[in-house]
Amino acid sequence: MFKVVSFVFLLVYTTPSIEWPTHLLCKTDRLEVNYRSCDPLQDLAFSIGTCSNVVPETLNIRIATILRYSIRKLSVEVTLGINGASVPFYSKELCEEDHPEFLYCRKKKGELIYYEGPVSVGFHELPQGDLDVKVEFLNQDHHTIICANFTVKSH
């Protein structure tokens, strides 16, 4: 009986870690990029085609996750972390209800969302120093579809 009570106590009062592991996205002698899912319930898979301080006009990426919410509308919001404050950097509607722009628009809860292809980047060279970047994809109900925090160290 004591073993059962101890086991139940351990299960109830043990707090699991709510942070996902940090994934190394790219590393050279002048650049290091890491990311971590900021969605406490879901990690994601993400990769890029090139690793350089000089950013091409379009960057080839791969991203995958299982949907916890359906997508009728989808927007992306990017914020930069500067000195502990978040500054909005970029926002765009990717899927509108009457005009789906991508294949993953209108996907249902539980389906795999996978994108492989080019993404337009609005700059060609990374600034020197350390940057924190948060990228969040939200559906029509403002539920998080994908959320990732990136740490960029450019020397």
Closest listed residue to residue 28, CA positions, set 6, 54, 9, 7:
54
pTM: 0.80
Residue 152 structure tokens: 């960029």
Burial of 119: CB neighbours in 10 Å, binned 0-12, 13-18, 19+: exposed
Burial of 76: CB neighbours in 10 Å, binned 0-12, 13-18, 19+: middle
Residue 57 structure tokens: 């006009």
The answer, yes or no, to whether residue 71 has pLDDT greater than 80, is yes
Per-residue pLDDT, averaged over 49-63, amounts to: 85
For 137-151, the pLDDT digits (tens) are 999 999 999 999 999
What contacts 42, CB < 8 A, 6 or more positions away? 65, 66, 68
Residue, of 77 and 10, whose pLDDT is higher? 77
Q: Show the beta-strand stretches assigned E in 83-121.
A: 85-96, 99-100, 112-120
Model pLDDT, residue 99: 66
Per-residue pLDDT, averaged over 97-108, amounts to: 75
Model pLDDT, residue 147: 94
Band of the pLDDT at 16, cuts 50, 70, 90?
low
Task: Report the amino acid identity of residue 113.
Answer: I
